[in-house]
């Protein structure tokens, strides 16, 4: 008993924390900004008809995902524990910890399919460095042949997971925070440049129309459901990722303004990614609903067309872009990894290294299944989906919104009002923008709306 107690105290000391305010925002924004913005957002927007989808998405970010994010920050900093232990501490002897368990399991699933796309990005980085992506080529076929290759994408997926592992194993301040601080500003800069290149391509205006002119007559419950999934996925909310990060925040961190900042940065990057992809898609005569390959087929086209006179510059841009996309993917993958690593480390009282190794090992196995579902395992399906699509569906559209409802009810109804107020106001020291409105959102609007979108999609129940 004595040994256990001492161990717990030591582990609390060793948990680590973010070293600066800007580090908090950039690490959380690093988690949020990733393939979800630059790859998944355009893919979903393309599949779901464009501008109307984007508008619904924006509403969901503001009214559903943002309150959940603030809720996660509150739970994380209040408990200073991993996402399972947080509920155990704050609500002992109740089933609330199930939200945490669901988060840890989802963390494994998300990281597994995410690493597949990140592996593609890694390969495209190398392809652009070796010049294999330059010149006028059939990028659609190049991409198709690559993802269905029996082992090449698997190797890149494994390599990506190893890199993620190394950063997480290094810890909070010198691993996660340092890395995010360096990469996020660089990413924003290159994205802005690409927007300019893309909207000035010939025929770009069709793409702008697709992004800006909503056609609400085409909106279906399925599109609304997808927009909600995308909002949760893009902001990394609902599976305890930000609970875990907030457990490393200090007492000075302003939770609400951090949440607002992270949402703003994330949304900006997603919209800008739309402005990079769609003008080009229309400019080169592709269909906007091309699916997961959209980014990997359209972007090489941007580089070739925009720099037809100066191919070397095109190559340089291509290298820079895929490298940064890879880094954005890394700042997100480390946050997914940290959900389970923090849990395993603290629950089983083991070292960070060992916990990280377990997480990486499991994700490697699951990731291989996802990767093979584009090639040799194409025909293996569960509920009509391959592993990749299944993991994406289960997490983004199912566990994240469901976890979101749980977090809203926990913060809005279970936690004491004074506790919530103290966390948000830093014990009376800070002013909180929209405090009353936030409470209204987290207690009523968010849980009810999430539940309605769910019921509507799953059982066809509408108001
Ligand atoms: N938000 C990340 C992205 O947009 C993905 C993510 C989901 C990260 C869940 C952490 C947890 O790429």
Contacts of 323 (CB under 8 A, 6+ apart): 125
- 115 C-alpha vs ligand 1 centroid, how far in Å? 11
Distances (CA, A) of 31 to 100, 180, 268, 289, 309: 18, 9, 15, 26, 37
115 in ligand 1 pocket by Cβ < 6 Å?
no
270 in ligand 1 pocket by Cβ < 6 Å?
no
The greatest distance separating any two alpha carbons of the chain, rounded to the nearest whole angstrom, comes to 73
The answer to whether 447 and 411 are in contact (CB under 8 A) is no
| Cα–Cα distance for residue pair 448/451, rounded to 1 Å | 5
Q: Which residue is associated with the tokens 């999934």?
A: 229
110 in ligand 1 pocket by Cβ < 6 Å?
yes
pLDDT tens track of the chain, all 463 residues?
333 433 343 444 456 677 677 778 888 998 999 999 999 999 999 999 999 999 999 999 999 999 999 999 999 999 999 999 999 999 999 999 999 999 999 999 999 999 999 999 999 999 999 988 887 788 889 999 999 998 999 999 999 999 999 989 887 766 667 777 777 788 888 889 889 888 888 888 999 999 999 999 989 988 999 999 999 999 999 999 999 999 999 999 999 999 999 999 999 999 999 999 999 888 878 888 888 888 898 888 877 877 778 888 788 878 888 887 898 899 899 999 999 999 999 999 999 999 999 999 999 999 999 999 999 999 999 989 999 999 999 999 899 999 999 999 999 999 999 999 999 999 999 888 789 999 999 999 999 999 999 888 777 655 4
32 in ligand 1 pocket by Cβ < 6 Å?
yes
User: Which tokens belong to 460?
Assistant: 């066809």
Please identify, by atom number, the ligand 1 atom nearest to the C-alpha of residue 34: 12
| Cα–Cα distance for residue pair 321/330, rounded to 1 Å | 14
Q: Which of 268, 272, 332, 338 to mutate to test the pocket of ligand 1 (most atoms within 8 A of CB)?
A: 332
| Cα–Cα distance for residue pair 39/277, rounded to 1 Å | 9
pTM (predicted TM-score): 0.92
233 in ligand 1 pocket by Cβ < 6 Å?
yes
Residue closest to 48 by CA, chosen among 265, 224, 272, 276: 224
Helix/strand/coil (H/E/C) assignment for every residue in 388-429: HHHHHHHHHHHHHHHHHHHHHHHHHHHCCHHHHHHHHHCCCC
Residue nearest ligand 1's atom 6 by CA: 236
- 313 C-alpha vs ligand 1 centroid, how far in Å? 31
User: Which tokens belong to 343?
Assistant: 């849990």
- 408 C-alpha vs ligand 1 centroid, how far in Å? 19
36 in ligand 1 pocket by Cβ < 6 Å?
yes
Please identify, by atom number, the ligand 1 atom nearest to the C-alpha of residue 32: 1
234 in ligand 1 pocket by Cβ < 6 Å?
yes
Distances (CA, A) of 185 to 191, 269, 303: 10, 12, 22
Residue nearest ligand 1's atom 10 by CA: 236
Please identify, by atom number, the ligand 1 atom nearest to the C-alpha of residue 235: 1
Residue nearest ligand 1's atom 7 by CA: 236
Q: Where are the alpha helices (DSSP H) in 18-175?
A: 21-32, 35, 41-47, 51-60, 66-79, 83-90, 97-129, 139-147, 152-170
Please identify, by atom number, the ligand 1 atom nearest to the C-alpha of residue 41: 4
Query: What is the DSSP-derived secondary structure letter of residue 237?
Result: -
- 201 C-alpha vs ligand 1 centroid, how far in Å? 30
282 in ligand 1 pocket by Cβ < 6 Å?
no
Residue closest to 395 by CA, chosen among 336, 346, 347: 336
Q: Which of 76, 114, 393, 401 to mutate to test the pocket of ligand 1 (most atoms within 8 A of CB)?
A: 114
244 in ligand 1 pocket by Cβ < 6 Å?
no
The answer to whether 245 and 28 are in contact (CB under 8 A) is yes
User: Which tokens belong to 102?
Assistant: 């669901």
Report, in angstroms and rounded to the nearest whole number, the Rg of the chain calculated over CA atoms: 21
User: Which tokens belong to 429?
Assistant: 């020291």
């Amino acid at each position: 008993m004595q040994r256990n107690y001492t161990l717990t105290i030591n582990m609390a000391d060793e948990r680590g924390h973010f070293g600066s305010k800007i580090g908090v925002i950039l690490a959380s924004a690093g988690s949020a900004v990733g393939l979800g913005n630059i790859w998944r957002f355009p893919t979903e927007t393309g599949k779901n008809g464009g501008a109307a989808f984007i508008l619904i998405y924006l509403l969901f970010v503001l009214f559903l995902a943002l309150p959940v994010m603030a809720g996660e920050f509150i739970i994380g900093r209040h408990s200073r524990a991993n996402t399972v232990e947080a509920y155990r501490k704050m609500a002992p002897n109740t089933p609330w910890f199930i939200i945490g368990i669901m988060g840890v399991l989802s963390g494994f699933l998300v990281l597994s399919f995410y690493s597949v796309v990140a592996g593609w990005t890694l390969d495209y980085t190398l392809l652009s460095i070796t010049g294999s992506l330059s010149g006028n080529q059939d990028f659609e076929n190049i991409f198709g042949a690559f993802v269905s290759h029996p082992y090449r994408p698997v190797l890149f997926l494994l390599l990506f997971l190893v890199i993620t592992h190394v950063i997480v194993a290094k810890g909070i301040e010198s691993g996660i925070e340092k890395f995010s601080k360096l990469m996020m500003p660089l990413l924003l800069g290159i994205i802005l440049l690409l927007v300019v290149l893309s909207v000035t391509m010939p025929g770009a205006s069709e793409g702008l129309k697709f992004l800006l002119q909503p056609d609400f007559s085409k909106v279906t419950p399925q599109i609304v459901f997808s927009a909600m999934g995308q909002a949760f996925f893009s902001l990394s909310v609902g599976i305890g990722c930000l609970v875990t990060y907030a457990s490393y925040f200090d007492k000075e961190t302003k939770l609400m303004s951090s949440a607002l900042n992270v949402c703003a940065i994330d949304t900006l990057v997603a919209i800008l990614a739309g402005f990079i992809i769609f003008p080009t898609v229309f400019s080169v005569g592709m269909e906007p609903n091309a699916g997961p390959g959209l980014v990997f087929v359209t972007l090489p086209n941007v580089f070739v067309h925009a720099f037809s006179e100066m191919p070397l510059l095109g190559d340089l841009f291509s290298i820079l872009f895929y490298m940064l996309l890879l880094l954005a993917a890394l700042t997100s993958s480390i946050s997914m990894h940290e959900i389970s690593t923090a849990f395993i480390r603290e629950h089983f009282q083991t070292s960070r290294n060992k916990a990280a190794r377990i997480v990486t090992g499991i994700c490697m196995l699951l990731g291989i299944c996802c990767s093979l579902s584009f090639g040799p395992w194409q025909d293996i399906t569960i509920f009509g989906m391959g592993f990749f699509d299944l993991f994406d569906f289960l997490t983004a559209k199912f566990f994240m919104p469901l976890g979101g409802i749980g977090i809203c009810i926990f913060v809005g109804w279970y936690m004491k009002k004074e506790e919530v107020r103290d966390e948000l106001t830093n014990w009376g020291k800070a002013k909180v923008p929209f405090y009353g409105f936030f409470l209204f959102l987290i207690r009523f609007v968010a849980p009810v709306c999430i539940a309605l979108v769910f019921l509507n999609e799953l059982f066809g129940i509408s108001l």
